[in-house]
Amino acid sequence: MEEHKSALIAMSGGVDSSAAAYLMLSAGYRCQGATMRLLRGDDGRNAADAEAVCQRLGIPFTALDMAAEFEKAVIEKFVRVYQAGGTPNPCVDCNRRMKFSHLLEAAEAAGLYYVATGHYARADRDPETGRRLLKKALDLQKDQSYFLYTLTQDQLARVQFPLGGMEKRRVRELAESLGFVNARRRDSQDVCFIPDGDYGAFIEAWTGQPFPAGDFLDREGRVVGRHRGAVRYTLGQRKGLGLAMGEPVYVCGKDMAAGTVTVGPESALYAREILVEDLNWISIEGLDAPLRAGAKTRSRQAEQAAELFPEAGGRVRVVFDRTQRAVTPGQAAVFYDGDSVVGGGTITEVFKEDGYGL
């Protein structure tokens, strides 16, 4: 319908969201650009680049100050999960708690129907069930559906992903041809609020509490060295341990209460079974019987064949056909049927092949 030919464009200041704005405008939508200011004291470059693109396209632009909400919904959870020994995924939380909820509210306030983003994914509709679908991007190297599994049916009905059918190189070529200031800007690779990647230093600064040094333990509980604070180590880590044990060892467990980090051989990292909570289902209403699916526990891995079993309290037990390396509590497990996202949730328990759980 004509009243639906309008969109708020979520603009990060990068090339993808800029190209998305052009494509929506070219498709006949009435558009407005919007940048969410998520960090206190940022240099304003993202908003300035986004505004410059909007001026070139001749569409209005607005900046939304969401720093306080971002700290509460994303940063504080990130710190809390790390303190508990998990490894959170702040990009998933940002999409769930910030971007799509707040941007849809901003679109409605501006009299706009859709929110369009520069994500590499596709939104569709199942003609048989009528359910809204989230699908992988055609450029599988850039696919971001893993980070979007929390989208609800209502949100998917109001979201558009104009880049879902494009290759990244074509997006850059388009931006260059349009003279966008950010056409060659590098993609962000780090957590936006920790650009140097030093999670431990960030958490210590945020909380004002240094994490004490403690013992490295082997799998039998014997002290084999000293670490610089358990929060600084992640499951599967090999580099930077400073241990000479005659063979490579990896972080395979942490006890935050005791302040210990357990190390062991690579074989200690493998598991076939995990427990997942806080589920969001997309292609199905819910899980009431075992289901075969592909499952990802990291964004860049190919999905792995698995069986999903419903558990009490809405949880799901995932049993993989083959053992998986370094599956980490706090991360997302996302389930696929071909190129469609079935659903996903947060990994809360990992059951190791040798009985050593996380």
Give the torsion sign (CA, 224, 230, 235, 238). negative
Residue 254's pLDDT is 93
Q: Which of 84-88, 147-151, 155-159, 352-356 has the lowest mean pLDDT?
A: 352-356
Closest-CA residue to 295 (of 232, 244, 337, 233): 337
Average pLDDT estimate for 312-316? 96
Residue 357's pLDDT is 46
Residue 358's pLDDT is 46
Whether 94 is catalytic: yes
Q: Quick one: pLDDT band at residue 3, thresholds 50, 70, 90?
A: low
Q: Quick one: pLDDT band at residue 1, thresholds 50, 70, 90?
A: very low
- 3-state SS class at 325: strand
Q: How many residues does the chain have?
A: 358
Two tokens at 81?
A: 């999960």
Burial class (CB in 10 A: 0-12, 13-18, 19+), 10: buried
Residue 2's pLDDT is 52
Residue 181's pLDDT is 79
The answer on pLDDT for 179 being more than 90 is no
Amino acid 70 reads F
Two tokens at 137?
A: 């991007």
Give the torsion sign (CA, 211, 97, 280, 321). negative
- Range 308-313, long-range pairs (CB < 8 A, 24+ positions): 308/335, 311/275, 313/277
Average pLDDT estimate for 271-295? 97
The answer on pLDDT for 355 being more than 60 is no
Q: Which is the catalytic residue, given 31, 54, 91, 94?
A: 94
The answer on pLDDT for 208 being more than 80 is yes
- Range 346-349, long-range pairs (CB < 8 A, 24+ positions): 346/276, 346/277, 346/278, 347/274, 347/275, 347/276, 347/297, 348/275, 348/276, 348/277, 348/315, 349/274, 349/275
Two tokens at 25?
A: 């405008």
Residue 189's pLDDT is 63
Q: Quick one: pLDDT band at residue 353, thresholds 50, 70, 90?
A: low
The answer on pLDDT for 108 being more than 50 is yes
pLDDT digits (tens, 9 = 90+) for 36-54: 999 988 878 889 999 999 9
Q: Quick one: pLDDT band at residue 354, thresholds 50, 70, 90?
A: low
Whether 252 is catalytic: no
Residue 186's pLDDT is 73
- The Cα 339–Cα 357 span in angstroms is 32
pLDDT digits (tens, 9 = 90+) for 112-158: 999 999 999 999 999 999 999 999 999 999 999 999 999 999 999 99
Residue 311's pLDDT is 97
- 3-state SS class at 264: strand
* Most confident of the ranges 43-47, 176-180, 251-255, 317-321: 317-321
Residue 115, number of CB atoms within 10 A of its CB: 23
